[in-house]
Amino acid sequence: MTKIHLLDPRLANQIAAGEVVERPASVVKELLENSLDAGARRIELEIEDGGVKLIRVRDDGEGIAHEDLPLALSRHATSKISVLEDLESVASLGFRGEALASISSVSRLSLSTAREGSDSGWSARSEGRDMAAVLAPVAHPRGTTVEVRDLFFNTPARRKFLRTEKTEFNHLDEVVKRQALSRYDVGFSLRHNGRAIHSLKPADNQLEQERRLAAVCGPAFMEQALYIDREAMGLRLWGWVALPSFSRSQADLQHFYVNGRYVRDRLVVHAVRQAYRDVLFHGRHPAFVLYLELAPASVDVNVHPTKHEVRFRDGRTVHDFIFRTLHKVLADVRPDTVPQNASVPQMSGEPMMAMPETQSAMALADNDAGSSSRGELAVPVSHSLGGFQSQYRPSYSPGGVADQQAAYQRLQAAPQTSGAEGDGLAPPLGYALAQLKGVYILAENQQGLVLVDMHAAHERITYERMKNARDGEGIRSQPLLVPMNLAVSEREADCAEQHSDVFAELGMRIERAAAESVIVRELPTILADTSVEQLVRDVLSDLLEFGSSDRIREHINEILSTMACHGSVRANRRLTLPEMNSLLRDMEATERSGQCNHGRPTWVQVGMAELDKWFLRGR
């Protein structure tokens, strides 16, 4: 008796269903992707009992022809690819041809469809041992309706692994939200147990897209989000990124799409975290909704059964493009571009730290404010930065007290407006009023009250100037008295040899000594006390996985950050009004000044509406 035999078709499909259908949310994902691939402009979902009892997806797509219906529920039957070459540049969301067959093997599935101009619609059901589709005429408008009932009714072992109705629906709702963010031109509606959950109309312009974004991700995200759109090297990155002050305790508000497909990719996550690294508080996660567009042939989507992972043909270029784009956007935020409708953060629930920030230059608008009198806050601080001396002298050199008071009086007399009308009246952070407990600066601007943590702000200013000095003179290196020999794998040695220019740019000289050995001959002077072996191995690991590494520069920045912290004005230091105003001007002229070197916020805006709310004014 032979041991090898063909599997029963139903059993084979149920095994395949284990890859495709994990829970009701998996079914919804597959059906929504089919509707979008069919050109639907309106998709309606009806759910019962979290999707276990009923999932009904109705669309107005092109429908399925009568002659194609017998194959519609068959495994590995698809209209989306035909030959091997099609797989190399997949432009559709689905292409495996497994979804409907797998779903029908663990549920009671019926499909009704009609094409434009057809005399009648047709329905298909799979029944029997061989799961052959049974066809029947049915009245149906243009489009397709798929009805899935009693999920896992014939596989009780899998059904018992489902969670509560609320949990399953939350997973399903998340899938609907992701798809709604992938196609703004398509309307989505969702009903659960007869109750309307979502009713999202097609969004044809940026304003309507942002309304949908607020409905899906919450208005707090939109209040703190920046819109970006960059193109280079055949790549386009667009979407919304939240300010660093709007951080999350978990990575639950991160949506990234590649050619319209939602993905969770390690290369992408690494690039985004690198861009936020210098401004994000430890343990927090950035929030974003981003879209990457590139030629379909440049990305392989056939690497995972759920299609959540992709592989880029030139991963290093994609990584660098994402990193540099976001890094520049976050550095270029100016005080006058920060959303003005944010308020003091709410401490209950998710600690979003929804506070505005300022990063980058904003010249003092009152150019007629004199500068006849110059002062200094502190003596110069000398730091050794990898072999060169950087003389940091705080630029606390405001105009005379009389000039500051004259400018402040103009602010007091100005109408309380924002935008272009008020831009010429006062700088974004306004003018200092007082100092609180030697820690905080209180200032007044057009919107209301500004609170500044003076040490945190000065720390960032010092840190950025140190980095600029380093970049201007380069990273100095020194030869090791005794070169360090490291045993590595042949693949790592190849990588070190191939990327020797990367190491050299960062002040480190590494040579290949043998097939599985490298020699470290030079190090950046500032990293003299660093664990060289661990640093080299970490850099090689990054280069192998992501095609780039920022660990050496990160280590140097950590040292500069510590030096900046010690070189900054300390708490309880009493400042004069001119010194406080000069600090505000320095913040407006410094990149990333919305956060200190450790990612904590440096200032917060409290608007008049928020102040009135505190004191119950207008009630």
Do residues 290 and 387 both lie within one domain?
Answer: no
Do residues 228 and 184 both lie within one domain?
Answer: no
Interatomic CA distance for residues 483 and 541, integer angstroms:
21
Cite the DSSP H helix spans in 133-288: 156-159, 165-182, 206-217, 219-223, 266-276
Note whether residue 395 is domain-resident: yes
What radius of gyration do the chain's Cα atoms show?
30
- Given 168, 200, 232, the domain boundary residue is 200
Supply the CATH number for residue 106's domain: 3.30.565.10
Tokens 């690039």 belong to residue: 271
Do residues 125 and 223 both lie within one domain?
Answer: no
> Low-confidence residues of the chain, pLDDT below 50?
128-129, 342-404, 407, 410, 414-423
Do residues 17 and 145 both lie within one domain?
Answer: yes
Interatomic CA distance for residues 571 and 401, integer angstroms:
23
Note whether residue 460 is domain-resident: yes
- Collapsing DSSP to helix, strand or coil, 64 comes out as coil
Do residues 139 and 159 both lie within one domain?
Answer: yes
Do residues 497 and 464 both lie within one domain?
Answer: no
pLDDT in the model for residue 377: 37
Residue 111 per-residue DSSP state: E
pLDDT in the model for residue 370: 33
Strands of the sheet containing 235-242, edge to edge, are 225-232, 235-242, 288-293, 254-258, 261-262
Note whether residue 374 is domain-resident: no
**Do residues 39 and 31 make contact, with C-beta atoms less than 8 angstroms apart?**
no
Interatomic CA distance for residues 496 and 491, integer angstroms:
9
Do residues 59 and 146 both lie within one domain?
Answer: yes
- State how far the alpha carbon of 422 is from the alpha carbons of 326, 341, 365, 447, 611, in Å: 29, 16, 10, 10, 20
Supply the CATH number for residue 585's domain: 3.30.1540.20
Closest CA to 107 of 144, 62, 148, 58: 148
Do residues 52 and 192 both lie within one domain?
Answer: yes
Supply the CATH number for residue 522's domain: 3.30.1370.100
Supply the CATH number for residue 225's domain: 3.30.230.10
- State how far the alpha carbon of 522 is from the alpha carbons of 341, 501, 530, in Å: 51, 13, 13
Note whether residue 178 is domain-resident: yes
Element (H, E) at 614: helix 608-614
Note whether residue 294 is domain-resident: yes
User: What residues does 247 pair with on adjacent strands?
Assistant: none
Note whether residue 321 is domain-resident: yes
Cite the DSSP H helix spans in 277-400: 315-331
Do residues 240 and 180 both lie within one domain?
Answer: no
pTM score, two decimals? 0.74
Q: What torsion do the CA atoms of 487, 492, 493, 499 make, to the nearest 10 degrees? A: -130
- Given 314, 331, 348, the domain boundary residue is 331
Interatomic CA distance for residues 423 and 34, integer angstroms:
50
Please report how many Cα atoms fall inside a 13 Å half-sphere around the Cα of residue 404, on the Cβ side: 22
pLDDT in the model for residue 337: 60
- The number of distinct structural domains making up the chain is 4
pLDDT in the model for residue 418: 38
- State how far the alpha carbon of 353 is from the alpha carbons of 240, 245, 300, 347, 574, in Å: 18, 6, 38, 8, 28
Length of the chain in terms of residues written: 619
Interatomic CA distance for residues 264 and 258, integer angstroms:
10
HEC assignment per residue over 419-439? CHHHHCCCCCCCEEEEEECCC
pLDDT in the model for residue 414: 47
Buried b (16+ CB within 10 A) or exposed e, 311-335: ebebbebbbbbbbbbbbebbbebeb
pLDDT digits (tens, 9 = 90+) for 176-225: 999 999 999 999 999 999 999 999 999 999 999 999 999 999 999 998 89
pLDDT digits (tens, 9 = 90+) for 517-573: 999 999 888 777 778 888 888 888 888 877 777 777 777 777 777 777 776 777 678
Do residues 43 and 149 both lie within one domain?
Answer: yes
- For 607, the token pair is 């608007």
Note whether residue 48 is domain-resident: yes
- Given 142, 174, 200, the domain boundary residue is 200
Closest CA to 76 of 30, 13, 32: 13
Q: What torsion do the CA atoms of 589, 527, 499, 296 make, to the nearest 10 degrees? A: -40
Q: List all residues 6 or more positions away from 28 whose beta carbon is below 8 Å from its beta carbon.
A: 45, 47, 51, 55, 57, 172, 175, 176
pLDDT in the model for residue 558: 75
- For 485, the token pair is 């020999």
pLDDT in the model for residue 304: 67
**Do residues 28 and 174 make contact, with C-beta atoms less than 8 angstroms apart?**
no
Do residues 427 and 489 both lie within one domain?
Answer: no
pLDDT in the model for residue 512: 93
pLDDT digits (tens, 9 = 90+) for 37-96: 999 999 999 999 999 999 999 999 999 998 888 788 877 777 776 676 767 777 778 776
Q: Which domain holds residue 521?
A: 481-564
Do residues 260 and 286 both lie within one domain?
Answer: yes
Cite the DSSP H helix spans in 183-253: 206-217, 219-223
Distance separating the N- and C-terminal Cα atoms of the chain: 88
**Do residues 176 and 196 make contact, with C-beta atoms less than 8 angstroms apart?**
no
Please report how many Cα atoms fall inside a 13 Å half-sphere around the Cα of residue 33, on the Cβ side: 26
Note whether residue 305 is domain-resident: yes
Interatomic CA distance for residues 59 and 199, integer angstroms:
14
Which amino acid, residue 189? Answer: S
